[in-house]
Amino acid sequence: MKLTIIIEKGDNELWGRIENVPGYLPVTSGSTVDEITDNLRDLLEDFIQHEGKSNADWQNLKKSDFTFDYAYDLSAFFELFDDIKVGALAKRAGLNPSLVRHYAAGTKFPSEQQAKKLEDAIHDLGEKLKEVVLA
């Protein structure tokens, strides 16, 4: 079963949650994405063994049955991918670098349209990096 972990930046740690689990909202914190993933696997296993027993979709699952995608808020993204420069990504997305720095700091939040521009710029950069050949 594939679930999406949403990663957000807290004051001194990262937070992770999984939405769309019927009757349950697992939330945890940690210092790394791997730690959050492990914690959420444990929470899901506990849910399956207890509350999830009454739900047919969860009865035969175990924690090794789960795979995860990750979605990041911008503060967490720029913290975890700190080799990507905020100003350069803003330029690639056609956005004001100062505004994107506010997004990265968590003092302002992007509209859905601006978040999509940043996401597209990140994906475009990833595609360009995959084409790099070093000689």
Residue 78 predicted with pLDDT over 90: yes
Identify the residue with better confidence: 61 or 112.
Answer: 112
Residue 56 predicted with pLDDT over 80: no
**21: confidence class by pLDDT, cuts 50, 70, 90:** confident
- Torsion sign (Cα): 72, 68, 35, 58: positive
Range in 19-23, 86-90, 98-102, 126-130 the model is least confident about: 19-23
Average pLDDT, the chain: 92
Q: Which domains does the chain have, with CATH numbers?
A: 2-72 (3.30.160.620), 74-130 (no CATH)
Any alpha helices (H) in the chain, and if so which ranges? 33-49, 74-80, 86-93, 97-105, 112-130
**49: confidence class by pLDDT, cuts 50, 70, 90:** confident
Residue 65 has a pLDDT of: 82
Identify the residue with better confidence: 129 or 24.
Answer: 129
Residue 1 has a pLDDT of: 83
With CA atoms as reference, report the closest residue to 37 among 59, 19, 52, 15.
Answer: 15
